[in-house]
Amino acid sequence: MKNLLTFLLLAFLLPLSAQQSLFNAQEIISPEINADRSVTFRVFAPHAHKVELSGDWMPREGWNIVPKIMTKEKDSLWTITIPPLPSELYSYNLIIDGVKTTDPNNVYLIRDVSSIFNVFIVGGGKADNYAVNNVAHGTVAKRWYDSPGNKMKRRMTVYTPAGYENSGKDYPVLYLLHGMGGDEEAWMDLGRTSQIMDNLIAQGKAEPMLVVMTNGNVSQQAAPGQSDKGFYKPTMALPHTMDGQMEKTFGEVLDFISGNYRVKKGKDNTAIAGLSMGGFHTLHISRQYPNTFGYMGLFSAAVMPRSEEMPEFYQNLDESLTRQKENGYHLYWIAMGKTDFLYNEIKKYKKKLDYLHMPYEYYESEGGHIWSNWRDYLTLFVPKLFKRP
């Protein structure tokens, strides 16, 4: 009986103690977006000697961000307020005594390959396209499909527009491909695809459509931690990267979607786009699958594989592009940042398209090989789809 009473007393007191610790904890807001769009960051680090802020809006030296030193205030609270930022989705880390970490006061995180970042949105402009607004929302599903060409089951992400489940209608489809190191979660998490689609459709700027985001790394079943390989550190260096295997087996993705979803048939109702490696895949899939795609989007795309021996699938480029032109299409859209490391590669590719008299539209933005550009490109590209005279 005595042990039982002791147990009951502890069961009563421990939650009270935990709640007391919770309610007595210092209330820290970080980041705090101020009325003028300046942003204040705070972290409680009583034993730290140096705390820095590293954000994707900051200047860089090469590939490396130049961080800002935070100031230690009273009660061991380190703070910094940065100047007003344009409307955008931003990512950042804290660096405490040389160790990069996340902000413990910000629960909003994004994984990019093997790195974790905190994120925040400065609204009142283009970032409103990426926000969850009070509009009808589509459905996002993670689907497994058979891939005999890769000898495994694989996973894709599928967005269906609001009302799909009950409409009974058929819809056009956009296949949206990620870059090197990404996976079937990249366009959803980093690219904010479902938010962009919900908002554009609700505004009447885009046709309701499916968006299919498959995993372009054919050596993977799914995103890290989502397959029977368990938990492992993600890496950008994966087998079968740009060797033709992704393109050769892409028909399995097309077959799964046409067999499991209500989609309109034909190239008039089928689009494909991608960023970086995904733009590379878009270029080569579209030219090797005749009369399949009527709309192509190359976002900061690589053009040819960087290998000493050219894989067979990527040979005969001029002949296949000519065939693609003769088959006909509605839109060949290329977007590139002025400081992107692939800028000259696309410049050279445009000359080839001009030589072949192959129609295309070109959009050039500021900035480089960054998600800020790719979200913008998607927002500009989607309204151009499936709206024919």
The answer to whether 273 and 282 are in contact (CB under 8 A) is yes
The overall average pLDDT reported for the chain is: 90
Band (pLDDT 50/70/90 cuts) for residue 388 is: low
* Span 59-69, average pLDDT: 89
Instruction: Name the band, by pLDDT with cuts 50, 70 and 90, for residue 63.
Output: confident
Co-location of 75 and 147 in the same domain: no
Count the domains in the chain. 2
**Which of 261, 259, 267, 306 is CA-nearest to residue 287?**
267
d(CA 295, CA 177): 14
Span 88-97, average pLDDT = 96
Q: Are residues 115 and 146 in the same domain?
A: no
Give bridge partners of residue 80 from the DSSP assignment: 41
- Would 225 be classed as within a structural domain? yes
Same domain, 148 and 89: no
In this structure, what CATH number is given to the domain that contains residue 35? 2.60.40.10
Same domain, 103 and 144: no
Q: Is residue 389 part of a domain?
A: no
Cα angle 54, 123, 92; round to 5: 15
Whether residue 301 is contained in a domain is answered as yes
Does residue 16 sit within a domain?
no
Q: Of 59, 90, 124, which residue constitutes the final position of a domain?
A: 124
Residue 11, domain member (yes or no): no
State what percent of residues in the chain have pLDDT above 70: 92
Query: Does residue 321 sit in the same domain as residue 184?
Result: yes
Cβ-count burial 6-25 (b if 16+ within 10 Å, e if not): eeeeeeeeeeeeeeeeeeee
What is the rounded CA–CA span in Å between residue 294 and residue 271?
A: 6
* For residue 337, pLDDT beyond 60: yes
Assigned domain for 45 exists: yes
Angstrom distance (rounded) from CA 172 to CA 313 = 28
Q: Is residue 15 part of a domain?
A: no
Considering the domain architecture, whether residues 167 and 297 belong to the same structural domain is answered as yes
Domain boundary among 69, 93, 124: 124
| Judgement on whether residues 156 and 272 belong to the same structural domain of the protein | yes
**If pLDDT is split at 50, 70 and 90, which confidence band does 236 have?**
low
CB atoms within 10 A of CB 319: 11
Q: Which domain holds residue 31?
A: 25-124
Query: Considering the domain boundaries, does residue 105 fall inside one?
Result: yes
The counts of H helices and E strands in the chain are 10, 20
Last residue of a domain, one of 124, 152, 171: 124
